[in-house]
């Protein structure tokens, strides 16, 4: 690991600790807790204009958050790196790749990213528990994907990044 990555991560960790500590201090000084800091279904929990005021609706939103975070990680940790490291890399030959499939992958990646962002920002700004669900799911899936990457051997037996055969369609 390079020193640049090592120090960058230490700076990010310090920043996160500072921001979370500051938020905790500021929130403990708040006398009246707003609707954002409630948990569970509530008449004030509104996502995309829909009130999430029943347990059934709330569980539906939690399930959506969990599944969509898994899909987001698939996109961000497998598909997007493949686009960057294969499609955008001018040193990689694309002559054996189906260009229609490549365009489909790149376009779906962009469309998903924008739709996800729109719904994601609405969920995160609705209530604090949505943020907690997203973070916890993201950590679980990121750990799982990283484990797969670290445990996938190459043809020569050396462990290397995950190969995704369906993306190398002829």
CA-to-CA distance for 98 and 169, rounded, in angstroms?
6
pLDDT at 7: 60
pTM of the predicted model, to two decimals? 0.68
Q: Are 169 and 97 in contact (CB under 8 A)?
A: yes
Q: What is the pLDDT of residues 127-142, one digit of tens each?
A: 878 888 888 998 998 8
Q: What is the residue-averaged pLDDT of the chain?
A: 78
Residue ranges of domains in the chain: 1-31, 37-167
Provide the sign of the torsion angle of the four alpha carbons 157, 160, 164, 168, taken in this order.
Answer: negative
Distance CA 113, CA 128 (A): 22
């Amino acid at each position: 690991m390079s020193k640049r990555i090592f120090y960058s991560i230490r700076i990010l960790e310090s920043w996160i600790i500072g921001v979370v500590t500051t938020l905790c201090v500021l929130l403990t000084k708040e006398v009246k807790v707003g609707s954002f800091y409630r948990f569970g279904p509530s008449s004030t929990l509104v996502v995309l204009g829909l009130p999430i005021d029943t347990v059934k609706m709330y569980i539906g939103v939690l399930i959506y958050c969990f599944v969509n975070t898994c899909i987001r990680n698939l996109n961000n940790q497998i598909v997007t790196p493949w686009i960057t490291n294969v499609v955008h890399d001018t040193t990689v030959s694309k002559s054996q790749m189906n260009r229609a499939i490549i365009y489909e992958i790149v376009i779906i990646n962009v469309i998903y990213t924008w739709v996800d962002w729109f719904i994601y920002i609405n969920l995160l700004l609705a209530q604090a528990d949505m943020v907690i669900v997203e973070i916890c799911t993201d950590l679980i899936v990121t750990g799982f994907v990283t484990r797969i990457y670290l445990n996938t051997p190459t043809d020569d037996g050396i462990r290397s990044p995950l190969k995704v055969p369906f993306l190398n369609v002829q």
